Structure 1
Amino acid sequence: MLLDASAAVDQAWNNGSTPLSMACAEGHLEVAKLLSSYGASRAATPFGTPEEVANRAGHADLAAWLVASRGWTPLAHLETLTAARATSLLRSGASLREGEPTPLQRAAGGAGEAAALVRRAAAPWSPASHSLFPAAARARAALLVLSLYEIHERYHLDSAGATNGIAALDFGHCVLGFAIARESQ
C-alpha cells in the first residue's frame, strides 16, 4: 500500500540501510522483487550492494535473482506486477523495449495477466489495445477517429459510395494502427 501511495522506495535509515538492503539481509525475496519493481536503487549502502548483502547473509537465491534482474525496468517485473499496476505503467508510458531483457522479451513466453497485457500493448493500436497506450497516443487516436467520423458524415460516405471504393471508416480501421505509436520514435 505504501509503494502504491508513492512512498519513497529508497528512504534510508539513519545507518544508511535502505528497504532493499534490509530485505536482502533478511532473505525476503518477494519483498526485494516488489521493491525492485518500484525502481529501488541497487547502489551500495554502507553495508555494500544488495547482492553483496544477500550473499553475506547466505541468501544465494536472492543474490542470484538480483544478478539476473539487473537490467530490468519496473515493467519487466512481470511476476510481481498486478494487472492494475501493469496497466498503470503502460498507460504512463513505460517502454516495452528498454532494459535487458526488455519487458516485451520477458512477456513473450510468460504467463499471467501482466505478461498478457504487455503483449497486447505491443500490438498496433486498436480499440482492444487503446486503454494500454500512453495518454498522448490515446488522445491522438481519439482525434483521428473523430476526424474520420466527421469526414464520413460530411461527405455521406459509405462502403459503396466512397472514393476508390474504400469507405472512410474502413480506411481508418486499416490506417490507425500505423498512425498511433505507443512509444515516441
Structure 2
Amino acid sequence: DGVTPLFIACEKGQLECARLLLEAGAAVNQACNDGATPLFAACEDGHLEVAKLLSSYGASRAATPFGTPEEIATEEGHADLAAWLVASRGWTPLAHLETLTAARATSLLRGGASLHEGEPTPLRRAAGGEGEAAALIRRAAAPWSPASHSLFPAPARARAALLVLSLYEIHERYHLDSAEAENGIAALDFGHCVLGFAIARETE
C-alpha cells in the first residue's frame, strides 16, 4: 500500500529509527497510497518527539485526505502535540533547537539555511537558548572569522578562501625583509579583520 519504513517508524513512535532513516535520506513527505504522510501518522498516534523530528526535516503540514496533522492531533486528544504544532507553525528546520543535533545544525548552516527566515527566526530562538544547536547558530551569526568559517555556506567559504589566498600572495609579492616583518604580520591581521565585512553569510 505504499507504506515506507519511515512511515512505520513514525506510526509506531520509534524515534531513533526515524532519525536514522531521515539521516540516511528517507523522503520525509512520501505518503502511502491513501495519502497519509509520516507526520500525519505520528500526529494521529500522539508521538510528539517524532513529530518534532519530522518537522525539523521540513515535513509538510498540508492537508491529507484525512485532514491536516494539526487537526488529527486535536481530534485524537493529543493536546500537547496539537499545542506544539500551533506554536511551531512558522518555524524553519533550523529553528528546531530542541531537536537538532550539532551535526544536523552544522549541516543546515553549511547548506545555507537562513538565520532570519521564519517566525520566530532561528537566530531569535537561539538568542537565549541552551545547547549545541543554539550555540552554533549564534556563532554562525557573527561576522566571518576563522572560528566561524566552517559554519558559512559553500559560496561564502569559497570567497573567504580566495580572499585569504590573495592577502598572502600580496604579502609574498613584496618580499618583506626582517625589518618589515612586523608590519607585514600586522597587515595580514588587518586583512583578516576586514574579511569579516567582505564575506556575507546570506545574500539579499
> Which TM bucket (shorter chain)?
over 0.9
Maintained 8 Å contact 1:9/1:35: yes
Residue aligning to 1:4: 23
Q: 1:82-161 to 2 correspondence within 5 Å?
A: 82-157=101-176, 158=180, 160-161=182-183
Q: Does structure 1 residue 180 correspond to structure 2 residue 199?
A: yes
Letter in 1 for 2:151: L
Deviation at 1:79, TM superposition (A): 0.6
Q: CA RMSD in A?
A: 1.4
Quick one: distance in 2 between partners of 1:51 and 1:160?
A: 64
Q: 1:68-87 to 2 correspondence within 5 Å?
A: 68-87=87-106
Deviation at 1:160, TM superposition (A): 4.9
Of 56, 70, 76, 1:37 maps to: 56
Deviation at 1:19, TM superposition (A): 0.5
Gapped regions of structure 1 (runs ≥ 5): none
SS in 1 for 2:25: coil
Maintained 8 Å contact 2:164/2:192: no
Maintained 8 Å contact 2:144/2:197: yes
SS in 2 for 1:3: helix
Deviation at 1:173, TM superposition (A): 1.9
Gapped regions of structure 2 (runs ≥ 5): 1-19
Deviation at 1:46, TM superposition (A): 1.3
Maintained 8 Å contact 2:52/2:99: yes
Deviation at 1:100, TM superposition (A): 0.6
Maintained 8 Å contact 1:72/1:102: yes
Please give the TM-score of this superposition, normalised by the length of structure 1: 0.94
Of 33, 40, 47, 1:21 maps to: 40
| Moved >2 Å (runs of 4+) | 156-162
Alignment deviations for residues 77-115 of structure 1 (CA, whole Å, 9 cap, x no partner): 111000000000000100000011000000001000000
Residue aligning to 1:57: 76
Please give the TM-score of this superposition, normalised by the length of structure 2: 0.86
SS in 2 for 1:15: coil
Q: Percent identity?
A: 85
Q: After alignment, is 1-10 or 174-183 more displaced?
A: 1-10
Alignment deviations for residues 22-76 of structure 1 (CA, whole Å, 9 cap, x no partner): 1001000000000000000000111111110000000011001001101111100
SS in 1 for 2:24: coil
Maintained 8 Å contact 1:151/1:168: no
Deviation at 1:159, TM superposition (A): 6.0
